[in-house]
C-alpha cells in the first residue's frame, strides 16, 4: 500500500487531511461503502447506499475544515470483482468531488479530493 502512503504523505504535506481506504477490503459494493464510511468517519445514520454515500461525501460537517483527501489504494480489486459497482461508486465519488471542488455548488470550509493511486 505504498502508493496510498505516498498519496497520504503528499496530502499531509500540503495541509490536507488524508483518509486511506484499503482496497483489499473492497471486493464488493457493500464492503466498499463500509470502507469509505470508515475512512471518513461517517455518522451512524449513513444509509449504506449510493445516494447516502453522495449525501455524506458532500456534507463532511463532522470533519475539521479544510481539504479531505480520500485515497482508495487498490480500487482495482472492486473493478475486477464487480465492474458495474466500481463504475457506480466511481461516479458518485467524481460527482461529490466536483460538488465540493473550488468551483462546485457546495462552498463551505471543506473540500473533497479523491485519489486512486494505482
pLDDT tens-digit readout, 24-74: 889 999 999 999 999 999 999 999 999 999 999 999 999 999 999 999 999
Distance CA 10, CA 15 (A): 9
CB atoms closer than 10 angstroms to residue 71:
25
- Its sign, for the CA torsion 42, 48, 108, 91, is positive
pLDDT value for 105: 59
Domain span at residue 72?
2-115
CATH of the domain at 15: 3.30.370.10
pLDDT value for 76: 93
User: How many domains does the structure of the chain reveal?
Assistant: 1
Comparing 4 with 65, which gets the higher pLDDT? Answer: 65
User: Has residue 1 got a pLDDT over 50?
Assistant: no
Amino acid at each position: 500500500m505504498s502508493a496510498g502512503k505516498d498519496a497520504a504523505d503528499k496530502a499531509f504535506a500540503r495541509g490536507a487531511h488524508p483518509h486511506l481506504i484499503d482496497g483489499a477490503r473492497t471486493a464488493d459494493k457493500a464492503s466498499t461503502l463500509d470502507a469509505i464510511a470508515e475512512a471518513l468517519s461517517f455518522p451512524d445514520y449513513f444509509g449504506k447506499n449510493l445516494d447516502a454515500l453522495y449525501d455524506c461525501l458532500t456534507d463532511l460537517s463532522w470533519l475539521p475544515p479544510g481539504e479531505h483527501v480520500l485515497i482508495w489504494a487498490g480500487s482495482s480489486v472492486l473493478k475486477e470483482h464487480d465492474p458495474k459497482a466500481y463504475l457506480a461508486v466511481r461516479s458518485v465519488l467524481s460527482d461529490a468531488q466536483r460538488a465540493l471542488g473550488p468551483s462546485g455548488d457546495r462552498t463551505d470550509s471543506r473540500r473533497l479530493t479523491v485519489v486512486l493511486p494505482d
